[in-house]
């Protein structure tokens, strides 16, 4: 398996196991951004792997989610939130839901290239009747900070085999 794919799969497993990154999703930006007073990034992510030869038998499943990152031009504050759901068919064998409260975000060189989102966040994950809270700092969330649609081959750097799919969508609504 290629190194970049292994890194993505490891990140997916971590998300499913409750250390999800604070990003994700799609939906209407009109509910966010202080009625147009803030810049809003909306992020959507989907990862699925049903190919044990590629992902390994312990990493089968996927995760999906939505998130938004706000920039307040008046104060300079960068905050956000996200909702993520994952399901695994390996040793974890179950579903998990994570809500992320992003207290700070910024852009820098990272896993998604020279313009990658990073966050400080608190993740609250519920799985199998248990709730855990995890604080993450300086977290490279693996999402490009450039609006657009990113397909499996763009994310992995090669065309993955059948049964493997990854999609990221980034949109931006400026303050007005």
pTM over 0.75: yes
Provide φ and ψ at 36, rounded to 5°.
Answer: 95, 0
Nearest to 44 by CA among 172, 174, 170: 170
Average pLDDT over residues 19-45: 63
Q: What was the pLDDT predicted at 132?
A: 97
Q: Backbone dihedral region of 33: left (phi > 0), alpha (psi from -120 to 50 degrees) or beta? A: left
Q: Are 4 and 113 in contact, with CB atoms under 8 Å apart?
A: no
Model confidence band, residue 33 (pLDDT cutoffs 50, 70, 90): low
Decide if pLDDT at 114 tops 60.
yes
Token pair of 135 as six digits: 């604080």
SS3 state at 110:
strand
Average pLDDT over residues 64-81: 97
SS3 state at 162:
coil
Token pair of 90 as six digits: 């390996």
Domain residues of the chain, as ranges?
Answer: 3-173
């Amino acid at each position: 398996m290629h190194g970049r794919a292994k890194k993505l799969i490891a990140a997916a497993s971590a998300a499913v196991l409750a250390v999800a990154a604070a990003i994700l999703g799609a939906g209407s930006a009109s509910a966010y951004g202080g009625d147009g007073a803030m810049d809003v990034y909306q992020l959507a992510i989907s990862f699925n792997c049903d190919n044990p030869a590629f992902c390994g038998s312990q990493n089968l499943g996927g995760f999906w989610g939505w998130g938004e990152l706000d920039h307040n031009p008046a104060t300079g504050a960068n905050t956000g939130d996200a909702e993520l759901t994952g399901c695994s068919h390996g040793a974890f064998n179950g579903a998990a839901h994570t809500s992320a409260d992003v207290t700070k975000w910024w852009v820098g060189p990272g896993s998604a290239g020279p313009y990658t989102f990073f966050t400080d966040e608190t993740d609250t994950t519920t799985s199998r009747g248990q709730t855990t809270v995890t604080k993450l700092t300086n977290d490279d969330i693996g999402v490009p900070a450039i609006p657009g649609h990113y397909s499996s081959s763009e994310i992995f750097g090669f065309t993955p085999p059948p049964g493997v799919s990854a999609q990221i969508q980034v949109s931006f609504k400026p303050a007005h």
